[in-house]
Structure 1
């Protein structure tokens, strides 16, 4: 029995009108591969958080599955809870949960040291509302 291969493509949120157009054109070209979804990054320390949501909503409006990244590093529980509430408001039910990157020159802060803590918090707050994808560093053993 042949296994189905799933594809997804990851984008960072554009911050110029030209970038928005280029991203839309790229999505149309990549749609030929029939990706399961397009994911949108959160930026180091959540630096693109607002643009992440805007980009996800734009992709959904075009009829594609769009999945926001959500990073724990540099985020408080209150910030994540607010973000989860926003995602539910827009009927976003799929997330990519990550530890995330610390912005260059900053010291890690926030309530989540690892992605598993973020996933546990999301489940605690929302039960099984979200389908959660995760990423890991398999070369590290904790």
Structure 2
């Protein structure tokens, strides 16, 4: 389902960073279309590769969103979504989440990551 040998923390950071990659690739595609309104075969191939890359990244992000959404605790879902999907920085998490302090945010995040690890293991086990 996910990359081999990556921890949940690494996957979450990867997903957070991929948000910028999507924007960059979409900008490249728009620039290509603007620069070459009449597209040669080479340009069409490059555009197709960009679209495949964008789609792949979006699928990867959606898998993580789906996994996060399986968490039963609303605060855990909220913290992980804010930080890793929406890209809210640590210093703004308390304010945006509505929680009382950073210690609470940190505690919820740690529990959420442990629960994600459990969920992932359950999903990876063969169904009997």
TM-score calculated relative to the size of structure 2: 0.27
Q: Say which structure is richer in strand.
A: 1
Quick check: which one's helix share is greater?
Answer: 2
Q: Which has the higher contact order (CA 8 A, sep 6+)?
A: 2
Larger radius of gyration: 2
TM-score by length of 1: 0.26
